[in-house]
Copies of this chain bind each other. A is one copy, B any other.
Amino acid sequence: MSTNTIQKPRDKHFTTILLAAQEEFATHGLKGARMQAIADRAGLPKANVHYYFQNKVSLYLAVLDNIIATWDDFFNDVSVNDDPATALDTFIREKVRLSFENPTASRLFANEILQGAPYLSDYMRETLRPWVNNRAKVIQQWIDAGKMTATEPVLLIFMIWATTQHYADFQVQVLGILNQKEYDASLIKQISDFTSQTILRGCGLEPPNTDATGN
């Protein structure tokens, strides 16, 4: 009973607080977030939050770590031999899906960057930059192999990020303009199709059939 009751999430409250903090930080940023508001979102007294996390910054770092750890990227395993249309289509659709599934994570990331990325500069230099350069190389190889129109691979990645994350970060604006209360399945489908088709055509690629495959 001593060794086999170890749980990775130290406590259910640990996770609860982490999620509550993610929402608060995503909305107001590090400086704007209030420990009391995080406690309220978690439905716990403020002192309880401090029991699990030493202070505001360490809680913020824990949230950032947690997000980056689950920051799946469906463009990792792509290589020259893959079909660029299929690979880019999958990448774009997965990014759109993530935006709707976990908008808070995207917003928190956006807030951190807006504030100058004070706590993510290491991650950007050591992880994100190499990742982008590596993926850009694959796109360049597709271009060199005549599989797609010449373009700027890194700017293409920026465009995919910007377009897909827009629906998470600017959700309030998008819904306000569309005069809708929330995203529904048909809108998400429409956005996925539009984004993939437009960007793929922009790269001189023929978008895969979307109706038959169902995605």
Q: Interface of A with B (CB < 8 Å)? A: 26-34, 107, 110-111, 113-117, 121, 124-125, 128-129, 132-133, 149, 151-152, 154-156, 158-159, 161-163, 165-167, 169-170, 172-174, 176-179, 190-191, 194-195, 197-204
**Given A128-B177, A162-B163, A113-B170 contact (CB < 8 Å):** yes
Query: Are the C-beta atoms of B114 and A155 separated by less than 8 Å?
Result: no
Docked pose: A28 CA to B116 CA in angstroms: 10
Known: A32-B33, A162-B163. 7 other contacts (CB 8 A): A26-B114, A29-B29, A124-B177, A128-B177, A152-B194, A197-B202, A199-B202
Query: Are the C-beta atoms of A198 and B156 separated by less than 8 Å?
Result: yes
* Chain B residues, CB < 8 A from A174: 158
* Chain B residues, CB < 8 A from A117: 172-173, 176
Cβ 8 A contact of A121, one of B125, B159, B176: B176
- Which one of A114, A124, A167, A190 has the greatest number of beta carbons of chain B within 10 Å? A114
Give the top 5 A-B pairs by smallest Cβ distance, nearest first: A32-B32, A31-B32, A162-B166, A202-B202, A198-B202
* Chain B residues, CB < 8 A from A176: 117, 121, 124-125, 128-129
Q: Measured between C-beta atoms, what is the minimum distance from A91 to chain B in Å?
A: 15
Query: Are the C-beta atoms of B152 and A190 separated by less than 8 Å?
Result: yes
Docked pose: A191 CA to B179 CA in angstroms: 32
Query: Are the C-beta atoms of B128 and A159 separated by less than 8 Å?
Result: no
13 cross-chain CB contacts under 8 A: A27-B115, A27-B116, A29-B29, A32-B32, A129-B176, A129-B179, A132-B177, A152-B194, A154-B178, A155-B191, A162-B163, A162-B165, A201-B203
